[in-house]
Chains A and B, each alone.
Chain A
Amino acid sequence: MSWGMLFLQTITNGLLIGAVYALIALGLNVIYGVMDFINFAHGEFIMLSMYATYFMFVLLGWDPLLSLPISMLMLFGLGAISEIFLVKPILGERMVIQVFTTYGLLLFLRNIATFFWSSTWRTLPTSYSDVVLSLGEIRISLGYALSSLVALIFTIGLYMFFKKTDTGIAIRATSQDRETAKLMGVDVNKIYMLTFGLGSACAGVAGVLLTLVYPIQPEVGEIFCVLSFVICVVGGMGNFMGAILGGFLIGLTESLAGFLVAPAYKHIIVFIVFIITLLIRPKGLMGK
């Protein structure tokens, strides 16, 4: 394979994983945009969804893509419950308190998972995970292709939800001006619960898709959580399109850095890009 083809292959890989990253970051960003709140346990929600998918596959034989709605609903419920019991009491509090509440949730979930499922790496071998598609000289693993396709479908679905449905419009109204939305008859408490649920459902869907391409472990959420923070900041905090742009950008940076420098250094370069963006455009590429 020529260097040019390898380069194209790298870009393809970056874009494919970028779609999944975009969905993860979207979950975080929707919550931040509406509630001005950062969920540090976002990565742990992804991890729980990965385990749910894994066990439905191993114990019941359900394919990840078929059990996807179940995982998504489970995570929606988990998000809504966390909102009621953990987030609501501290919404008006100082930022420090918000950080430490969800950080406590992170510690709790991660170590409970270690206890129940041990820290061994598990993989989920589907019938199609070894299939490789060829597009000219470029090879794409079917697992990556499917996960990126489904992530795109969900992203577009979420966009339509915010644009077209009454609830979506109510959520956007709340994010723009909470007090006015309240005066217009929007039940802000319900909107918050729904938003947190939706953001967590994004993590849920992303978790299912990640099982196709990534091994499962209790600490797997760490890197995805950090990456999604990076994506949100690079793209623009609270900005829908920002998360998508950032997702693809970071996916590309990661795979290009792995190809041009060394795979080991890919995250160093992602973090350097993150800090440079923070310094040049603290509000992110799409932020106002």
Chain B
Amino acid sequence: MLRIKMLRSSLKSKQLELLLMTLIALCIAPLMSKSTYFLHVMIMIFFFAFANNAWNILSGYVGLVSFGHGAFLGLGAYTSTLLLLNFGVSPWIGMIAGVILTSIVAAALFLPLLKLSGHFFALSTIAVREIIRLVFEYTPYVGGAMGLTIPIIASSSLYYFQFSSKIPYYYIALTLLLVQILILYKMERSKVGYYFIAIRENEETAKALGVDVKRYKIIALVLSASFSAVIGTFYAQYFLYIHPNSTMGVLISVEMLLSAVIGGSGTLLGPVIGAFVLIPVETVCRVYLGGMWEGFHLVIYGILLISVSIFAPGGIYGKASGLLETLRSKWRKGK
């Protein structure tokens, strides 16, 4: 008994050690490598990990699969950008405005859909996303199909969220991701997290046990949409160019769920692991095949998605922790 307890605590401290080492490595990485390309890839990993975590709240934990999260990201990006372009408002304030606006729009448009289940919810999110995207595409005031370009106001200014170097973006993205993971960690271990999973596993039983299903679905929706809006502002300030297709289209909506699904949806680290696997795959594809085969990484994503669905329905994280668990119990038995 004692041995097992000691083993467990040593494992915990090992995990903590590993986590700290990873953190330190991530913090000093920009100092070690001056390559902007490396920084860009890392920023994209943080970006997609954050966006997939946002999707994961509604679709992974509560189990309402959404193909429409691009709409939330786009709304966040458009809100902060329009405030900046028209009134010179700092994107940081725009980010908060985006979160509020996106939460309201998400609640108004998706609320009636929350009672739908399974396929029907997934299909209706496509429709809602398309409505929002098409409205932006045909409204000249918000840039229409041409999109909006953010002019360079200052070469490096925290107030205007604009930097000539990639290093500040790196640290901002990393901080955002760490704060988000911390919030999600708290959420997962609070009653809210357990209610979410209860709703996913069996809605009727959850209801019978006294979980206010509707209320917790709304909480998940608003949380999920808010995080998407936050990363939308980051997208706008990083690329300095947004248009309806790139921020609200199919591709971004799918990329907001791929890492989560392949890494392991409904888990805390699944989306992060997924992003660390997928974004380098995309980069390698772009570097070696970019000119001749624009969408090659999507072919690989497709194959990965099919293989994960068939062979590891819990994602990479689920498969790996399952393997680890069997190894551990075998080892224990051997002792």
Contact = CB atoms under 8 A, between A and B. Distances in A.
Interface of A: 38, 86, 89-90, 93-97, 99-101, 103-112, 114-115, 222, 226, 229-230, 233, 237, 264-265, 267-268, 271-272, 274-275, 278-279, 282
Contacts of B122: 99
B126 interface: yes
Nearest to B313: A97
5 contacts: A93-B309, A99-B122, A104-B303, A106-B302, A268-B130
A96 B116 contact: no
Interface string B277-293: 00000000000000001
Given A96-B63, A96-B65, A112-B299, A104 B304 contact: yes
Interface in B169-184: none
B306 A274 contact: no
Nearest to A282: B116
B82 to A, nearest CB: 21
Contact of A230 (B59, B115, B127, B261): B127
A108 B130 contact: no
B97 interface: no
Nearest to B303: A108
B93 interface: no
A220 B120 CA distance: 23
A261 to B, nearest CB: 11
A233 B122 CA distance: 12
A29 B59 CA distance: 25
Contact of B299 (A111, A233, A279, A282): A111
Contacts of A89: 310
Interface stretch (B3-11, B131-139, B233-241, B322-330): B131-139
Nearest to A100: B309
Among all A-B residue pairs, the 5 with the closest Cβ atoms: A104-B305, A108-B302, A107-B302, A111-B295, A104-B306
A229 B126 contact: yes
A99 B65 contact: yes
A104 B301 CA distance: 7
Contacts of B113: 275, 278-279
A112 B123 CA distance: 25
B138 A265 contact: yes
Contact of A111 (B112, B123, B298): B298
